[in-house]
Amino acid sequence: MMSQSTLSSDHCMIPVIRSPNDYQVFRISPHDTNRLAIIFDSTTADDSLTVCVEIFDPGGSTPTHRHNFAVEMFFILKGEGLAICDGKDIPLHAGDSLLVRPTGIHEIRNIGNKRLYALCFMVPNEDFSELIRSGIPEIFDEEDLAVLQGHKTMLIA
């Protein structure tokens, strides 16, 4: 724990705060079944990282890939998925986290009948945000915003 004497305004960084209205959403290629919404990357956080929300349509998946240096972490916000990492199948549900180390061959699939939402962190960036930004701009729909803003649907009996 830091004492007050070690805390000073000389070392304070102004935090960067963003909301879903600030996120930029892309589909990397026209036939992709997932969209990525950049929350923070080197252009917004002035650091070598990428934080995004990945939204998979039903049946959607990432291509099988690996990262040479980056660690990638997924936190499942909503939906059901399957991670395939170095040949092992790992079921994913809301609240689960998955850490993929550098050089791990992996893909994520949406195995549910609704969208899969995952918060994704990649450190260092390893050109991930540049790949995302080279894609086709998209926008959130009402379902996306409801998930990201934590809205609950009320059922009245």
For 69-112, the pLDDT digits (tens) are 999 999 999 999 999 999 999 999 999 999 999 999 999 999 99
Q: Kindly list the domain boundaries of the chain, sorted by start residue.
A: 19-139
pTM as predicted: 0.87
Specify the CATH superfamily of domain 19-139.
Jelly Rolls (2.60.120.10)
CB atoms under 10 Å from CB of 53, counted, come to 22
User: Rounded to the nearest 5 degrees, what angle is found at the Cα of 42, between the Cα atoms of 79 and 78?
Assistant: 5
Structure-token pair, residue 80? 């059901």
For 107-118, the pLDDT digits (tens) are 999 999 999 999
Full strand arrangement of the beta sheet holding 136-138: 97-100, 71-78, 116-123, 50-56, 34-40, 24-27, 136-138
Tokens 């997924």 found at = 74
Using DSSP's 3-state secondary structure scheme, residue 108 falls into: strand
